[in-house]
Amino acid sequence: MSFDRNGECWCGSGKKYKKCHMAFDDKLELFKKRGYKLPTKAMIKTPAQIEGIKKAAVVNNGLLDYIEERIKAGASTEDIDKWAVEFLAANNAHSADLNYQGYPKSICTSVNDVVCHGIPSEKVILKEGDIVNVDATTEVDGFYADASRMYIIGNASDDAKRLVEETKKCLEIGIAQVKPWESVIGDIGKAIEAYAHKCGYSVVEEFCGHGVGLKMHENPYVYHFNPNEKTELIVPGMVFTIEPMINQGRKDIFIDAKNGWEVKTKDHKLSAQWEHTLLVTETGCEILSK
């Protein structure tokens, strides 16, 4: 698709195309000729969209901070959901999780061997030594930000603490691969998988990171393992999550038939996850939500 060099740029900046994204698009064409898979225009956020996503990220970060101040042994995972509802209402924001494809709660709480999509419940009481992933996606004025954190309840075992720490390192190693005009999405997964295996852990392959911003889930699909296929060139303006799910034992998982949502490790060993929303910049990336 060609654009009028003197017309308004496709990105919505209000600038002329020749003064805004023309050089950017010319650079993309050079990479295309070299055989790279290019991101679509929909994967590249406009300045106005980025500002909206940043506002959602501020609230999402605040929500996870709010939970961090309160989470402790004796609290139920239903309490965590109530805190989310309370905080979001006070900040004129909404949970993107609530009613998403029928999901019944405003946040995900995954304890110990629950990999992801744990449903808050009054019956699940946090106890000393538990590890808990809390995953929040916040919508503010039509823009979305997504992040998850691990919380260690009281004095956990050394093995549990190591898993949580090394999973965060997996995330950091993935983020380090975000090099605009140099790396591709698949480089993130290759690096994460190599480090996880070095630690003696496995990587869940059924769930990966994703584009985010105008919807909760967008393209590109962000692998946490070597995809062995061509993936998109990373360029400025892309917004996506990296959220490795690392298992203490085997990578095999199953979905709990009782509720159709909770994903658990087949061997019932521990699983951990950290997630950030990133904006790719001209020189690297900016962590928006964490």
Domain residue limits, the chain: 43-289
Instruction: Tell me which CATH homologous superfamily contains domain 43-289.
Output: Creatinase/methionine aminopeptidase superfamily (3.90.230.10)
Distance from the first to the final alpha carbon of the chain:
36
Q: Find tokens 């995972």 and name the residue.
A: 77
Full 3-state SS string of the chain: CCCCCCCECCCCCCCEHHHCCHHHHHHHHHHHHCCCECCCHHHECCHHHHHHHHHHHHHHHHHHHHHHHHCCCCCEHHHHHHHHHHHHHHCCCEECCCCHHHCCCCCEEEECCEEECCCCCCCCECCCCCEEEEEEEEEECCEEEEEEEEEECCCCCHHHHHHHHHHHHHHHHHHHCCCCCCCEHHHHHHHHHHHHHHCCCEECCCCCEEECCCCCCEEEEECCCCCCCCCEECCCCEEEEECCEEECCCCCEEECCCCCCCEEECCCCCEEECEEEEEECCCCEEEEEC
Whether residue 1 is predicted with pLDDT greater than 70 in this model: the reply is: no
Q: Do 87 and 231 contact (CB within 8 A), yes or no?
A: no
- Whole-number Å distance between alpha carbons of 224 and 208: 6
Whether residue 62 is predicted with pLDDT greater than 90 in this model: the reply is: yes
Whether residue 14 is predicted with pLDDT greater than 90 in this model: the reply is: no
Q: Would you state the pLDDT for residue 193?
A: 98
Q: Do 194 and 174 contact (CB within 8 A), yes or no?
A: no
Query: Above pLDDT 90, what percent of the chain?
Result: 93
Higher local confidence (pLDDT), 286 or 20? 286
Q: Would you state the pLDDT for residue 19?
A: 87
State the CB neighbour count (10 A cutoff) for residue 17.
Answer: 19
Whether residue 2 is predicted with pLDDT greater than 80 in this model: the reply is: no
Q: Would you state the pLDDT for residue 10?
A: 85
Q: Find tokens 């993107």 and name the residue.
A: 96
pLDDT in tens, 193-240: 999 999 999 999 999 999 999 999 999 999 999 999 999 999 999 999
Instruction: Assign 67 a pLDDT band (cuts: 50, 70, 90).
Output: very high
| pTM of the model as a whole | 0.96
